[in-house]
Amino acid sequence: MDSTSGGGASDQNVGEGPSATGGGSGEGSAAAPPSRYESQKRRDWNTFLQYLKNHKPPLTLARCSGAHVIEFLKYLDQFGKTKVHLSGCAYFGHQNPPAPCACPLKQAWGSLDALIGRLRAAYEENGGRPESNPFGARAVRIYLREVREGQAKARGIPYEKKKRKRPTTTTPAIASAAMSQVLDGAASASASGGAASSSDAGPAATVAPTTATV
Ligand SMILES: [Zn+2]
């Protein structure tokens, strides 16, 4: 089903060791393997760099704007696994359509939101300045909000439900991480298409695990 993998980004797993092991003090302890969040973040970052590399016209990180980030998110939609009904579809607004339809599959808002959180952190960890972080651009926030509202309508998810209060507003990256894990679990439990198994290959893998339940 996910035949899009051979896209040339095959070397993503070669990242050597954690980048931020202080290296000084703890001699006896073997370096702990990076957390799931950390390795996902690294994979996402590599995917994005690969995307820039293949971009036409060529694009460097330094020249990357919020608009480019949005373009990247739209590009990822082709690997999505979440049915988003078009307004003309009979199942528009239905949470559990009784039959299949021809509407496109896209990335679920929750996947994109978590992805942006990871990339935003990765950008700064790789030397980018916070004030020029394209993943934190206002346009990206607005785009994500539109995706959320549009998908909520199209998929019959009450908007209020999504507007959960967060305990703190200061650590969006951590919130996203927690959320992506929650979504992962939910997806493997409920995704009927068996799609959740296509990991580790190509750009799709970076955001694949989260599916219908957002
Ligand atoms: Zn539909």
CA of 56 to the centre of ligand 1 (A): 32
Task: Give the tokens for residue 211.
Answer: 């599916």
Residue 197 scores a pLDDT above 80:
no
pLDDT of residue 167: 56
CA atoms 109, 115, 118, 124: torsion sign: negative
Residues of the chain above pLDDT 90, percent: 56
CB 109 within 8 A of CB 147: yes
Distance of CA 157 to the CA centre of its chain: 20
* C-alpha dihedral, 54 to 59 to 140 to 75, nearest 10°: -20
Q: Which amino acid is at 61?
A: L
Closest residue by Cα to residue 73 from 125, 115, 25: 115
Predicted pLDDT at 29: 55
Alpha-helical (H) ranges within 15-137 are 36-54, 66-76, 109-125
Distance from residue 43's CA to the centre of ligand 1 (Å): 32
What is the pLDDT of the chain when averaged over all its residues?
Answer: 74
Of residues 165 and 99, more confidence is placed in 99
**C-alpha 34 to ligand 1 mean position (Å):** 40
Residue type, 39: S
Expressed in angstroms and rounded, the spacing between residue 91 Cα and the centre of ligand 1 is 5
- The reported pLDDT for the residue numbered 157 is 82
Query: 63-103 pLDDT, tens per residue?
Result: 999 999 999 999 999 999 999 999 999 999 999 999 999 99
Q: What integer pLDDT is reported at residue 130 of this predicted model?
A: 96
Distance 116 CA to ligand 1 centre (A): 27
Cα-flanking dihedrals φ and ψ of residue 106, to 5°? -135, 175
In this prediction the pTM is 0.61
How far apart CA 44 and CA 204 sit, in angstroms, is 10
Give the model's confidence band at 179: pLDDT under 50 very low, under 70 low, under 90 confident, else very high. Answer: very low
Cα 105 to ligand 1 centre (Å):
10
- Does residue 207 have a pLDDT over 80? no
Peptide bond into 130 cis (omega under 30): no
Contact between residue 154 and residue 93 where contact means Cβ atoms under 8 Å apart: yes
Average pLDDT over residues 138-148: 97
What is residue 145's predicted lDDT score, i.e. its pLDDT? Answer: 97
Q: According to the model, what pLDDT value does residue 158 have? A: 73
- Candidates 130, 131, 107; CA nearest to 44 is 107
Alpha-carbon distance of 125 to 82, in angstroms, equals 31
